Amino acid sequence: MAIQTVNPYTNKVVRSFEEMTDKAVDMLLAQSAKTFNSWKETNYEQRAQILHKVAALMREKKEYLAKIITLEMGKLIAQAEGEILLSADIFDYYATNAAEFLADKELKPEFGSAYIRCSPIGVILGVEPWNFPFYQVARFAAPNLMVGNTVLVKHASMVPQCAIAIEDLFNEAGAPNGLYTNLLISGKRASSLVADKRIKGVSLTGSEEAGASIASEAGKYLKKSVLELGGSDAFIILEDADIDKAVEWAVVGRINNNGECCVASKRFIAVEAIADEFIEKFKEKMSNLVVGDPMNSTTELGPMSSEEAAVHIIDQIRKSVDAGATILLGGTRSDLPGAFVQPTILTDLKPEIPAYYEEIFGPVASFYRVKDEQAAITLTNDSSFGLGCSIFTQDIERGKRIADKIDTGMVFINHPTWTQPDLPFGGTKNSGYGRELSELGIQEFVNKKLIRISGLSDPL
Ligand code: NAP
């Protein structure tokens, strides 16, 4: 994939970048490994100073940075600004809390004493996607830098200006050379880098295919890996739900980030008693969305991130219809020059239809009508993914009981799956393993070293 900015609103190439040579990458890796030797000796306060400065710079340059996001991948400008603020919050969160999260843990052995010390492990490679170009990097970089690791970031090829802008923020914040390093290289080369002895761990957010490639290299070379992959989140509406509220959240859950969200609500599962009311209201709202220029503050749905992404979605819809699915709304390209797909609702989905199991990364909702609560749980779990799930009910105890039966990494009651710095994020099954954010996210690339002190009089 060429490393270039293509504005998906116009499908015009804005700027192209040269891929780094092997020699350049080797020099950057050497610098990162060298910087690790001094960075690991710094204390939490010194590390926090750099991260707080990065957060402050993000807030200061919010409008400028958000415009780069919107230009490169088509996110609505207000959401792009929100992403910058969320990313700044993540940097501040880890800068403020890392010392507590990584504090020594006293153990109580039978004789003598012992404790666990969290030590950094070295250079960590992050392979990141385009859909949240700042937030995804913040989730990976902030905790690792506070641990005392250094990071190499291979960002998605379609957001090179975002990638460069993040590295610039670190430089401006006074980060030592090699602390945060941007690699302008292809995905394949990122996989082969995992073999390098100087890289001690790898984290990837992206597709199952890229995850499998990185994980197999990590396994081959015995390196720790974390994978945050795709999802096909269910959005369950029970008969006792506040239907109007559920409909409002259903639209947000499906079209937030133009529908290109791993934890977007993708499968809408309504129990028979309220299915007609829900789908009628949901369809009405989806059909009234304002589609257009993502730089315009009144737009509600922008283009897909690229022409290829739009073509792929239309192909998934077409194959699903050929296999028996029914289109309740949309189903085609919008009448605009860029990478647009109409808000779409599919129904009559069965396991043999592609849209039943595949993740659709755009404004396409799959609608299912089921007999009861148990049927909703069974359908929710009939997925190779296990990222998030939403349950709409006014009976919170019922929601919690159902949540217990759902095979996903996150379950939200009366809300689409969402994110904030202090809540863990991650999935099970083909959605990956490991966690980002919260205290759990900082524990992934850490050597939890046991230190045992024995008394001279302890028994042999
Ligand atoms: P993708 O193609 O897998 O790209 C993600 C990153 O992996 C990019 O940097 C890409 O580089 C790189 N890559 C591609 N092939 C690779 C390979 N063989 N080895 C190593 N790296 C490789 O994913 P995408 O389609 O852009 O992103 C959408 C996917 O990410 C969706 O499935 C979505 O659900 C998932 N996602 C998951 C989360 C989560 O937290 N669970 C969050 C956001 C997105 P190039 O750009 O150079 O190809």
What is the number of the ligand 1 atom nearest to the C-alpha of 185? 47
Q: What is the pLDDT of residues 56-84, one digit of tens each?
A: 999 999 999 999 999 999 999 999 999 99
Residue 460 has what pLDDT? Answer: 73
Q: What is the pLDDT of residues 170-215, one digit of tens each?
A: 999 999 999 999 999 999 899 999 999 999 999 999 999 999 999 9
458 lies in some domain? no
* Residue bearing the CA closest to ligand 1, atom 37: 229
Q: What is the pLDDT of residues 433-448, one digit of tens each?
A: 999 999 999 999 999 9
Residues 393 and 438 in one domain: no
330 lies in some domain? yes
Mean pLDDT of the region 103-109: 97
Distance in Å, CA 126 to ligand 1 centroid = 11
Task: Report which secondary-structure segment, H or E, holds 217.
Answer: helix 208-220
Count the domains in the chain.
2
422 lies in some domain? no
Instruction: Specify whether the CB–CB gap between 97 and 86 falls below 8 A.
Output: no
Q: DSSP of 13-59, one letter per residue?
A: EEEE-PPPPHHHHHHHHHHHHHHHHHHTTS-HHHHHHHHHHHHHHHH
Residues 206 and 64 in one domain: yes
Residues 187 and 262 in one domain: no
Residue 1 has what pLDDT? Answer: 79
253 lies in some domain? yes
Residues 178 and 192 in one domain: yes
145 lies in some domain? yes
Q: Tokens standing for 450?
A: 């046991």
Residues 320 and 445 in one domain: no
421 lies in some domain? no
Residues 353 and 303 in one domain: yes
Residues 390 and 441 in one domain: no
* Residue bearing the CA closest to ligand 1, atom 22: 187
Instruction: Specify whether the CB–CB gap between 346 and 287 falls below 8 A.
Output: no
Q: What is the pLDDT of residues 17-30, one digit of tens each?
A: 999 999 999 999 99
Residues 211 and 285 in one domain: no
Report whether residue 385 contacts ligand 1, using a CB cutoff of 6 Å: no
297 lies in some domain? yes
- pLDDT exceeds cutoff 80 at 32: yes
Mean pLDDT of the region 352-381: 98
158 lies in some domain? yes
What is the number of the ligand 1 atom nearest to the C-alpha of 132? 43
Residue 459 has what pLDDT? Answer: 76
Range of the domain at 287: 233-413
Residues 301 and 385 in one domain: yes
Categorize the per-residue pLDDT at 455 as very low, low, confident or very high, splitting at 50, 70 and 90: confident
Mean pLDDT of the region 340-354: 98
- pLDDT exceeds cutoff 90 at 255: yes
Residues 202 and 321 in one domain: no
Mean pLDDT of the chain: 98
Q: What is the pLDDT of residues 382-438, one digit of tens each?
A: 999 999 999 999 999 999 999 999 999 999 999 999 999 999 999 999 999 999 999
Residue 456 has what pLDDT? Answer: 76
Distance in Å, CA 210 to ligand 1 centroid = 6
C-alpha dihedral, 65 to 66 to 72 to 74, nearest 10°: 180
**CB pairs under 8 A, 24+ apart, for 317-324?**
317/344, 317/346, 317/355, 317/360, 317/364, 319/354, 320/346, 320/349, 320/353, 320/354, 320/355, 321/346, 323/352, 323/353, 323/354, 324/348, 324/350, 324/352, 324/353
Just list the catalytic residues. Answer: 228, 262
What is the number of the ligand 1 atom nearest to the C-alpha of 230? 34
Residues 198 and 278 in one domain: no
Residue 458 has what pLDDT? Answer: 78
Mean pLDDT of the region 305-318: 98
